[in-house]
Homo-oligomer: A and B are copies of this chain.
Amino acid sequence: MCVMRRVSDEQLIELIEAAIFVSETPLSKKRLRETVLKEVAASGMRVDEAIRSISEHYQTRGVQLVEVGSGYRFQACKRLTPWLSNLWQEKAPKYSRATLETLALIAYRQPITRGEIEQVRGVSVSSNIMKSLQEREWIKVVGFKEVPGKPALYATTNQFLDYFSLSGLNMLPELPEQHEVKIEQMLSDPSVRESSE
């Protein structure tokens, strides 16, 4: 049994702010409670209030508090990125269309099998793409489909959300609408048919 320490609101804010700044990965409230606040007496409400207060404080500063998939992190204000990127010489990696299309299908249709991805894209998905996405920890196997061959089912991870600065899958841009018109109607219209040449 450890004695819980009482801290003032100011101390709680200091501690949480510092913890988010020094953590190597985004810090979730759960991890915050299990580590930094392990011996601190602070209700969930007080923690929420502290986070809100920190977020507000940084509204007018060069860095801001954001919530992404796996927790809270500070990041530079986006409008400063053009200047700040001079600090790096390497260019950010570009991703191929094949990779992006595969990732989009997994993000929007998860859990999905590789076969289903290939069905939509009309081409086979290279093992390299699946492996790279897994090594980046953007996707993972979450189960196996109950069909012959039991293919793996893929889903996106919190690291995927972190990378794209999304707090959840519901923050993804909306899937473009398909045409509402009934395909059958359009197609059965004889005027659409071409005359044979």
Contacts and interface: CB of A to CB of B under 8 A. Distances in A.
Interface string A124-148: 1011100110011000000000000
A113 to B, nearest CB: 16
A86 B17 contact: no
A41 interface: no
A16 to B, nearest CB: 7
The copy count of this chain in the complex is 2
Contact of A36 (B15, B17, B77, B87): B87
Contacts of A68: none
Interface in A1-44: 13-19, 21-23, 27, 31, 35-40
Interface residues of A, number: 44
B63 A17 contact: yes
The 6 closest A-B pairs by CB, nearest first: A18-B62, A17-B62, A14-B62, A35-B86, A18-B76, A123-B131
Interface of A: 13-19, 21-23, 27, 31, 35-40, 61-63, 74, 76-77, 80, 83-84, 86-87, 89-90, 96, 98, 122-124, 126-128, 131-132, 135-136, 197
